[in-house]
């Protein structure tokens, strides 16, 4: 056995997710939980979180408030995305994710609808930034 501090970053995050789920709270707050993880393990942990959240359909799903700067992660994991402005951090727009569950990354990212939705979110982010620095509107 190993002490928690001796585990890899990916294993530490898995343990943190397990601890959070074991608390059995109504709302699970996750603030950039995968930001320090390498891309391969990030995908594994995102898929693990989806699998745990989706469950077997017999349990009530928890509400998860998930903070991320990764648009693809937000689309995959969210039902609603709250896009914030740069400064001050106010709500720019609340966007419903138009994709049915269960979502599978491999299938979803290949669709034209995914690309269009992703570009819409990027436009929201970039246009806010362009507005703040006096630039032109970004069209993707």
pLDDT score, position 4 = 76
53: pLDDT confidence band, cut at 50, 70 and 90? confident
pLDDT score, position 139 = 59
Residue 37: give its domain's CATH number.
3.40.50.300
For 97, list phi and psi in degrees, rounded to 5.
Answer: -80, 125
**What is the count of structural domains for the chain?**
1
Q: CA dihedral defined by 70, 10, 59, 97, rounded to 10 degrees? A: 10
Structure tokens belonging to residue 109: 């990212």
Residue 139 placed within a domain: no
CB count, 10 Å around CB of 137? Answer: 9
User: Counting Cβ atoms within 10 Å, is residue 76 exposed (0-12), middle (13-18) or buried (19+)?
Assistant: buried
Residue 45 placed within a domain: yes
* Domain range for 15: 4-134
Q: Cα-atom radius of gyration of the chain, to the nearest Å?
A: 17
What's this model's pTM, rounded to 2 decimal places? 0.81
pLDDT score, position 130 = 61
Q: Is the pLDDT of residue 46 over 80?
A: yes
56: pLDDT confidence band, cut at 50, 70 and 90? confident
């Amino acid at each position: 056995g190993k002490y928690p501090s001796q585990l890899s970053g990916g294993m530490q995050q898995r343990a943190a997710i397990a601890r959070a789920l074991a608390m059995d709270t109504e709302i699970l707050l996750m603030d950039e939980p995968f930001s320090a993880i390498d891309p391969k393990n990030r995908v594994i942990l995102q898929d693990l979180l989806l699998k745990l959240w989706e469950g077997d359909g017999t349990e009530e799903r928890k509400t998860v408030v998930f903070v991320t700067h990764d648009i693809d992660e937000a689309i995959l994991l969210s039902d609603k995305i709250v896009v914030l402005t740069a400064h001050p951090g106010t709500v720019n727009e609340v966007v419903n994710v138009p994709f049915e569950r269960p979502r599978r990354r491999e299938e979803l990212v290949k669709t034209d609808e995914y690309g269009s939705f992703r570009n819409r979110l990027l436009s929201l982010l970039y246009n806010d930034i362009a507005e703040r620095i006096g630039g032109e509107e970004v069209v993707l």
